[in-house]
Amino acid sequence: MSVLLSVDDLRTSFFTSRGEVQAVRGVSFELRPGEILGIVGESGSGKSITCMSLLGLLKANGKVIGGSARFEGRDLLQLDERDLRKLRGDQIGMIFQDPMTSLNPTLTVGEQVMETILRHRRISRAEARKRAIELFELVRIPSAAKRLRSYPHEFSGGMRQRVMIAMALSCDPKLLIADEPTTALDVTIQRQILALLKELQSRLGMAVILITHDLGVIAETADRVLVMYGGMVMEEAPVRRIFAWPSHPYTRGLLASIPNLRDGTHQRLTPIPGSPPDMRRPPEGCPFAPRCPNAMAQCVSALPPIYEVEAGHGSRCWLHHAQAPRVGGINEAVPA
């Protein structure tokens, strides 16, 4: 099967007055055309920094220090700022958590959408305007032509996110990177935006990387899931599999931490003890070992590789080693 984006051993650090923060420590994954890849993880897991590294949007003190990211035959990590600018908003669209910070408050949204189109396409202003109206209709902003003349503050949070989506889609991207696109929205509006994203994705056939901390959003939207922790991918699997048969103790811990909506009983939650690692001094072994209920001596001293527990299902845990002790649910026989 063809691959749209292939990330290999991406490493990104931030150089701060208090030392080097190793935000991304060797992330690899592939994305196929038309696929929705969910990246789930908690704050500091490296999920957003992974995507910012691909887009060349790291803050000044951040630096990609290794790896490659092949997109359409080119390594994104080797492109200069000029080429990256050409790519962003054209072949790769982006939307972020807070649309207000990504929009210019002094320009009408119409001017901003048209500007994006004109930057990438050699067409007249009239044609760009026509395209902008089409896009507003596509994302279902009512009275599209009229709303082009509005300023960002005149829109609600949900409508602003629709504007951002329209802008991201303006040049028919092959890849859309959506970083917590519904986190700041109310639940009924989140529902509208997720439905819109899914519909547009299947209609336009683009691939999507959806970054979120919300396992519910992942379950409803993604085809395949990466679970990140401590700057690394801990588990990777098709979405049904990750919920039905989580194989990494961290993924299992995350799922046990959230209340089960279908189960009415007041079952006590099972939290993950402790807190995430300090990425200035990441643990030598498995980053999750200090909080892991199944940790062994080996886990503290050496980083486990990713074991393929099933075709397309990988898990970075020593328990998958042939000589590891048997632990219920993690390394016992896995149903296909």
Partner 1 sequence: MSDTPLIELRNLTKHFTLSSGLFGRGKVVLRAVDGVDLTINRGETLGLVGESGCGKSTLARTLIRLFQPTSGEMRFDGTDIAELDERQLAPFRRRMQMIFQDPYASLNGRMTVRDLVAEPLEIAGIGDAASRRARVDELLARVGLNPDHATRFPHEFSGGQRQRIGIARAIALNPELVICDEPISALDVSIQAQVVNMLEDLQDEFGLTYLFITHDLSMVRHISDRIGVMYLGKIVELAPNEALYRAPAHPYTQALLASIPVADPTARRDVVPMRGEIPTAIDIASGCRFRTRCPFATDLCTSAEPPLRELDGGHFAACHYADRVMARQMEVA
State the residues that interact with partner 1 by CB under 8 A.
42-43, 156, 158-159, 186-192, 194-195, 213-220, 239-240, 243-244, 253-259, 261-262, 264, 266, 268-273, 275-276, 291
Residue from 245, 201, 292, 239 nearest 39 by CA: 239
Beta carbon of residue 276, minimum distance to partner 1 (angstroms, whole number): 7
Residue from 280, 296, 291 nearest 331 by CA: 296
Beta carbon of residue 179, minimum distance to partner 1 (angstroms, whole number): 16
Is the CB of 120 or the CB of 198 nearer to partner 1?
198
Beta carbon of residue 306, minimum distance to partner 1 (angstroms, whole number): 21
Is the CB of 84 or the CB of 219 nearer to partner 1?
219
Beta carbon of residue 174, minimum distance to partner 1 (angstroms, whole number): 25
SS3 (DSSP) at 245 = coil
Is the CB of 69 or the CB of 103 nearer to partner 1?
103
Beta carbon of residue 18, minimum distance to partner 1 (angstroms, whole number): 12
Helices (H), ranges, 88-214: 99-102, 109-120, 125-138, 144-147, 157-168, 187-204
Task: State how beta strands 62-71 and 92-95 pair.
Answer: unpaired
Beta carbon of residue 83, minimum distance to partner 1 (angstroms, whole number): 36
Is the CB of 89 or the CB of 158 nearer to partner 1?
158
Is the CB of 169 or the CB of 218 nearer to partner 1?
218
Using CA atoms, how far apart are residues 42 and 59, in angstroms rounded to an integer?
20
Beta carbon of residue 217, minimum distance to partner 1 (angstroms, whole number): 5
Residue ranges of E strands in the chain: 5-16, 19-31, 36-40, 62-71, 74-75, 92-95, 175-179, 207-212, 224-229, 232-238, 307-310, 313-315
Would you say 334 and 247 are in contact if contact means Cβ atoms under 8 Å apart?
yes
What angle do the packed helices 187-204 and 157-168 form, to 10 degrees? 20
Is the CB of 123 or the CB of 255 nearer to partner 1?
255
Is the CB of 274 or the CB of 325 nearer to partner 1?
274
Beta carbon of residue 70, minimum distance to partner 1 (angstroms, whole number): 29
Would you say 236 and 313 are in contact if contact means Cβ atoms under 8 Å apart?
yes
Is the CB of 162 or the CB of 174 nearer to partner 1?
162
Residue from 116, 62, 115, 68 nearest 93 by CA: 116
Would you say 93 and 146 are in contact if contact means Cβ atoms under 8 Å apart?
no
Q: How far apart are the first and last CA of the chain?
A: 21
